[in-house]
Amino acid sequence: MSLSYAKISQYMVGAFIGALGLFNSSKLELRQEVNSNAELLFQNGQIISASIICVCIAGILGEFWFMREMKKCPPKKDLIRAINQDKIKKSKKNEENKVKEEKGAKRGGKNEKE
């Protein structure tokens, strides 16, 4: 659960940054001449900032939904153990492959020197 709260705080920071960008773009757009390239640039900044805010709000809502669903139906302990065992087996296989590759490289290096 704490991981979801960490993600929510990251989305909140993103929404705040988007709001700052929207505010700055709005204030700077008012200072520009009408129908100028600078005005269009700041309008594009407003669009981008608004889309960042919308994505962050959607992320926050998604995290709340995910947390609610996990309360209703938490993952089974057997499933979690099986997933963790698969991860351990994969990491052991990767380590064994790396060791074999290192041994093969050392053997190949000795033959080249001879």
DSSP string, 40-92: HHHHHHHHHHHHHHHHHHHHHHHHHHHHHHHHHSPPPHHHHHHHHHHHHHHHH
Alpha carbon separation from 46 to 29, 50, 54, 82 (Å, rounded): 9, 6, 12, 48
- What pTM, to 2 d.p., does this model score? 0.61
Cβ neighbour number for residue 101 with a 10 Å cutoff:
10
Whether pLDDT at 76 is above 80: no
Under the phi-then-psi rule, with left for phi > 0, alpha for psi from -120 to 50, and beta for the rest, what region is 73? beta
Of the pLDDT bands very low, low, confident and very high (cuts 50, 70, 90), residue 92 is: confident
At residue 20, the pLDDT reads 95
> Is 70 exceeded by the pLDDT of residue 109?
no
Share of residues in the chain with pLDDT > 70 (%): 87
Given this model, what pLDDT does residue 22 score? 94
Question: Does the pLDDT of residue 82 top 50, yes or no?
Answer: yes
Burial 50-85 (b: 16+ CB within 10 A, else e): eebbeebeebbeebeeeeeeeeeeeeeeeeeeeeee
Mean pLDDT of the chain, nearest integer: 83
- The C-alpha atoms of residue 64 and residue 90 are separated, in whole angstroms, by 32
